[in-house]
Every structure is written in structure tokens, then in C-alpha cells.
Amino acid sequence: MQLIAGAGCDDQQSGARGDYAGSVLILGAFVAFRPPVPPVSAQSHAQRICREHGVIPRSEVYEDCLVHATRAVEWGEPMLARDVARLTVDAQEVCARNGLAPQTPDFCACIDRETQLRGFLR
């Protein structure tokens, strides 16, 4: 009788171990496939990077900086995000030095041209 009862306990324990191992595998798979930085956090980080480099919210280049910097942060490349912000500011300064007025089609075309020339493809 005890032998049978003991066998039943071992079966229950091995079943519990199997459930535990399955839970660990599921948790491991969840952690392995989650994005490195949550999207909300990535956008907040990108906003800070753009502002730190002098990109003013509601400026012509802010949205471009934010989109591309967010993508770089999501990829786990914060230095690339900083490069994007720097290129955006450089393009804006070149266009302003060329005498183009902000918020005009010529200014926007200049921004596009300058960012492409600097390797920041849209």
C-alpha cells in the first residue's frame, strides 16, 4: 500500500516540476521576444534627444527628428538617434544661413535636400 501511495506522490511531484518547467519556458520566451525599449519610452527618449540638440518642438524639423530618433532608440541605437538630431539641426542651420524663411516650401525643400546630403535619408 505504501509503495503505491509513494508512487502517486512521485507522479504528482514530477507533474508539478513539468508545470514549473513549462512556466519557465513561457516566461523565458516572453522575455526573449519583447522589444528592448518599450515604444512609449523610446519616443520619450527621442523627444529628449531632439530637444537636447536644439530641435524645437513645433519647428519644421521636429517631427522628422522625432520619427527617426524614435526608430533609432527602438533599434537599441541611442548614438544613432543623437546623430539624427545633430544632422537635423545642421540642415536647419544651413537652410537658415541660405536666407530661407522657416515655414515655407523652399525651406522644407532645403531641409529635405540637406538631410539627404548628410546621409539622413527620409
Whole-angstrom distance, CA of residue 50 vs CA of residue 56: 8
Instruction: Read off the pLDDT of residues 51-105 as tens digits, 9 standing for 90 and up.
Output: 999 998 988 889 989 999 999 999 999 999 999 899 999 999 999 999 999 889 9
Question: Is the pLDDT assigned to residue 39 strictly greater than 50?
Answer: yes
For CA atoms 41, 54, 78, 90, give the dihedral sign: positive
**Nearest 5°: phi and psi at 98?**
-80, 5
The pTM is what? 0.61
Whole-angstrom distance, CA of residue 91 vs CA of residue 110: 8
Q: How many other β-carbons are positioned within 10 Å of the β-carbon of residue 108?
A: 16
What residue ranges do the domains of the chain occupy? 1-34, 39-117
